[in-house]
Amino acid sequence: MNPLNWRHEHQLELVVGAAVGIAIGLLIGVIYNGIHYATLFQWLGWSWSAVRWAILGALVGGATIYTRQLLHQ
C-alpha cells in the first residue's frame, strides 16, 4: 500500500489531511501551552514547541487519511 501508487486525488487528499493536521496541532498547542495574544507571534515564530505540535498534527492527519484509504480497499 504505497501512497506513491495512489491516484492523484488520493495523494492530494493525503497532503490536505496533513496540512489540516498541522493547523489543528498548532491550535491544540496554543491551547495546551496557555499562549496569550502577547506571546502568540513569538510562539508561532517556529519555536521548538510549535514545531513539535505541528509535526504531531501532521502525523495524526496523515495517518487518518492513510487509514481511511486502507479501509476502502
How many CB atoms within 10 Å of residue 54? 20
Alpha-carbon distance of 67 to 72, in angstroms, equals 9
Q: Domain map of the chain by residue range?
A: 3-71
pTM of the model: 0.82
- Crossing angle of helices 48-71 and 37-44, in 10° steps, is 70
Average predicted confidence (pLDDT) for the chain: 88
Cα within 13 Å of Cα(57), Cβ side: 20
% of the chain with per-residue pLDDT over 90: 48
- Residue 41 backbone phi and psi in degrees, to 5: -70, -30
pLDDT in tens, 4-21: 888 899 999 999 999 999
